[in-house]
Chains A and B, each alone.
With several copies, the nearest count.
Chain A
Amino acid sequence: MYNDIIIDNFTNPQKVGDIALANCEFEIGNPVCGDRIKIQLMVENNTISEARFRAWGCATSIATANLFCESIEGKTTSDINQKNDQDIESMLGQLEPSQHHCVHILKELHQQLVVQANAGAQ
């Protein structure tokens, strides 16, 4: 079923919204499942000062998006870059097989963040 991490992030998502002056923005989607997530960030001195999301999808993907934003606020892109696959997987807690696609979503959010942040830095 849904673990507490998923439930908390889904029922009370603190990071829903838009950042008018976002200087970093990316979207990911899962063509099969149909989940879609848009992330907007305010990055200052390589540090993510603000992160917001919009999402359409299953409860676990919405929770994943919120968890992602929560976890990166206040972090530098290199902090985030240091996370390995295992670190990322463990963020979501124990998942049912049907929720595993959200691990991929979370990995992809991290990858996109690094790509976009680096692109912005160049």
Chain B
Amino acid sequence: MDQQHISGYFDYNATTPICSDVIDSMVPAMKLFANPSGNNRHSQTIKKTINEARQNVAQLLQTQVSNIFFTSGGSEANNWAIKGVLFKHIDKPGHIITTEIEHASVLDTVKYFADTFGFEVTYLKPKKDGAIDVSDLENALQDNTQLITIMYANNETGVIQSIEKMATITSARKIPFHVDAVQLVGKRKINVEKLGIDYLSLSAHKFYGPKGVGSLYIKDIDSIEPLIHGGGQEFSMRAGTENLVTIVGLSKAAQRVTESVEQWDSDNWQCKQHLVALLEASPLKIKFNGSTDYSNSLSNTLNIAIDGIRGESLMLQMELIYGFIISVGSACSNNKTINLSHVLQAMNINETDIQSSIRISFGRFTQLEDIEKFVTALVSAVEQLLAISTGY
């Protein structure tokens, strides 16, 4: 996608346009070719570069460099946190708490421990507004609870969980608490130490950095095993010659977030308010999926069901005719079955509404006038689809 299409891009939660500063930082890094683990002066340069990157990520989360570990992205970070903690209990499988609305890299990993090793799992269910009740978490705790893993903000609805309140409970009971913050980092400020959690995942491509690189914050390295064993990289916690080019990109992206996240968030919030107002004033019959207010949802995300259309058709219409990219709550899948969003299902949204749901997510390159053009296009596209289905 080139830059001229960015104004039509409303799928920032899937991935973000890479920022030109980030690209500029990565180009020279491609030529730094010494092995970071080497003993010569060229290796030294690279070690320093990696350490600066670690510093930038630490600053982003307001923590120390010794708590930041680079990974190949959010999925690896999630897998690492869950597996790294649970394999320590493999001889005595206990209880895991998570939610029904996690990302596949959490759900599938938790399921793996349940199916293969016999761990017991409690899946917390969100309320209609998408939020998990803190008291539900409290009630789910067992003496043998070995890990809690809950996402900070949901990728589909943008709904934000009360992680800070949850952490008060988990830390009082000293139960390891992992937070998948892949969707929050870059959109809201985080102070991970004040938050009081044990592990936090982030992924650069969700905040204008490159794909395939992320970090896991680890409060106490003795509490977790490596996912990738081997050499001395990452304080001997994650083997593998470092992906220097994308780590440098992550570094620059993290720096930008630290500087600008509040500005971006306030711009996004303006866009979102405008979007909501325009949609409500439009002829479209809309339901909002999950909270839309500032403190309970991301400022860049809106998930809506539009009466009378199928999300998937609307998505293609919006792309092919109007040049807007959005995402959907359901898609056809193989074998004639339909793939309904597990997140919307968990919120007890009915099947027809899920099939007519779309996710609109924008970001720092989105202008207020892009929002206006977007709504105009959306209204036309829906009208066209309705015209095709009139009579149904």
B388–A59 contact, CB under 8 A?
no
On chain B, the residues within 8 Å of A10 by CB distance are 313, 316-317, 320
* Cα A98 to Cα B336 with chains together (Å): 8
Verify if B391 is at the interface (C-beta below 8 Å from A).
yes
**Is the Cβ of B332 less than 8 Å from the Cβ of A16?**
no
A107 at the binding interface (Cβ < 8 Å)? no
> Which residues from B are CB-within-8-Å of A16?
387-388
In the complex, which residues of chain B have a beta carbon less than 8 angstroms from the beta carbon of A33? 332, 336-338
Please give the distance in Å from B66's CB to the nearest CB on chain A.
15
Using a Cβ cutoff of 8 Å, how many contacts connect chains A and B?
A: 74
* A72 is an interface residue with CB less than 8 A from chain B: no
Whether A36 and B392, one on each chain, are in contact in the complex, defined by CB atoms closer than 8 angstroms, is yes
Set of chain B residues within 8 Å of A34, measured between Cβ atoms: 310, 338, 351-352, 355
- CB of B321 within 8 A of CB of A11, answer yes
Q: Does B389 contact A (CB under 8 A)?
A: yes
A21 contacts the other chain (Cβ, under 8 Å)? no
Cβ 8 A contact of B312, one of A7, A58, A97: A58
Instruction: Please tell me if A26 contacts chain B, counting CB pairs below 8 Å.
Output: no
Give the total of A residues in contact with B, Cβ under 8 Å: 28
A32 contacts partner chain B, Cβ-Cβ < 8 Å: yes
Q: How far is the CA of A36 from the CA of B389 in the complex (A)?
A: 9
Interface string of B348-392 (1 = CB under 8 A from A): 000110010000000000000000000000000000000111111
B333 within 8 Å of A by Cβ?
Answer: yes
A115–B41 alpha-carbon span in the complex (Å): 39
What A residues does B308 contact at CB under 8 A?
Answer: 56
B135 interface residue per 8 A CB criterion: no
Query: B305-349: which have CB < 8 Å to A?
Result: 308-310, 312-313, 316-317, 320-321, 331-334, 336-339
Q: Taking the nearest CB of chain B, how far is it from the CB of A57, in angstroms?
A: 6
Q: Using a CB-CB cutoff of 8 Å, which residues 1-47 of chain A contact chain B? A: 1-2, 7, 10-11, 13, 16, 18, 30, 32-34, 36, 38
Given known A-B contacts A30-B336, A38-B392, A56 and B310 have beta carbons under 8 A apart: yes
Given A7-B320, A58-B312, A59-B316, A38 and B332 touching (CB < 8 A)? no
What distance in Å separates the Cβ of B345 from its nearest Cβ neighbour in chain A?
Answer: 15
Instruction: Report A-chain residues with C-beta under 8 Å of the C-beta of B139.
Output: none
Partner of A56, one of B39, B321, B337, B389: B389
Residue of A nearest to B352 (CB): A34
The yes or no answer to B105 lying at the interface (CB within 8 A) is: no
Residues B391 and A1 in contact, CB atoms below 8 Å apart: no
For A109, the chain B residues whose CB sits under 8 A away are none
Q: Is the CB of B320 within 8 A of A58?
A: no
Determine the residue in chain B with the shortest Cβ distance to A101.
B336
- Which residues of chain B have C-beta atoms less than 8 A from A32's C-beta? 336-338
Chain A residues within 8 Å of B387, by CB = 16
Q: Indicate whether A55 reaches chain B with its CB closer than 8 angstroms.
A: yes
| Interface membership of B44, Cβ < 8 A | yes
What are 11 contact pairs spanning A and B, CB under 8 A?
A7-B320, A10-B313, A11-B316, A30-B336, A32-B338, A34-B338, A34-B351, A54-B388, A59-B316, A62-B313, A101-B332
Besides the known contacts A54-B388, A54-B392, 15 further A-B residue pairs in the complex with CB atoms under 8 A apart: A1-B44, A10-B313, A11-B321, A18-B391, A34-B355, A54-B389, A54-B390, A55-B389, A56-B389, A57-B313, A58-B332, A59-B317, A97-B334, A98-B332, A98-B333
Q: Which residues of A contact B (CB under 8 A)?
A: 1-2, 7, 10-11, 13, 16, 18, 30, 32-34, 36, 38, 54-60, 62, 97-101, 104
